[in-house]
Every structure is written in C-alpha cells, then in structure tokens.
Amino acid sequence: MDQRWLKFAEIDYDAFRAFVATGATDAEIATWIAEHAKKRPRAEIIAWNNKERDLRLSDLPVETQEYMEDYITEFIPRNRVVYHWFDVYDLEEERF
C-alpha cells in the first residue's frame, strides 16, 4: 500500500525512507510529507482514497495479488473473508 500512496503523492521512496530513518516524530513526518507531496485538490484526494478503498484483490497487479495470497493466509483469521483490499488491514487492526 505504501508504494501506491507514494506514487499518488509523488514522493520519492528513498527520500521518504531516509527521512523516517532519522528518527523523526510522527508530527515531523507529517510536516515533511506536506512539504514534499504533490499538492492536489481535496476532491482529487477524496476520489483517490475512495477508489483505493473500493479495490478488490483481483483489481490489483498480479504481483500484489500473489503477495496478498500468502499475507492473508498468515495474518488473517481463517473464518474471515477478504473481498476488498482494505478488508485485510481492517481485519488485521480489528476494526471489524
């Protein structure tokens, strides 16, 4: 998920990783992101976020689908069904 967000924000992964590795606080990271992310209209951010939340596993690149097959088996309870990509994180964080 981080790569999808970094691409949308147009933030360089290596630069972001290097900054986080400095031990920056959450507030400092938020400030860094605000300074380095591409500025977008609120409506565009909302639309992107909703699109991501609505993605089914089958909508993801095949490499991500393959990764998620193993990830779901390892980290999601067997009695829970995953329909959308974000279900994985909601189940993992016990939001439902």
What integer pLDDT is reported at residue 23 of this predicted model?
97
Global pTM reads: 0.73
In sequence order, which residues have a C-beta less than 8 Å from that of residue 84 and are 6 or more positions away? Answer: 53, 54, 55, 56, 57
What integer pLDDT is reported at residue 66 of this predicted model?
94
Residue 96 has pLDDT above 70, yes or no: no
Q: Which amino acid is at 46?
A: I
Residue 15: band (very low, low, confident or very high) from pLDDT cuts 50, 70, 90? very high
List the one residue out of 40, 87, 91 whose CA is nearest residue 60.
87
Tell me the per-residue pLDDT of 40-91, one tens digit each, with 9 for 90 and over.
Answer: 999 999 999 999 989 999 999 999 999 999 988 888 888 888 888 888 878 8
The Cα 8–Cα 47 span in angstroms is 12
Q: Where are the domains of the chain?
A: 1-39, 55-96
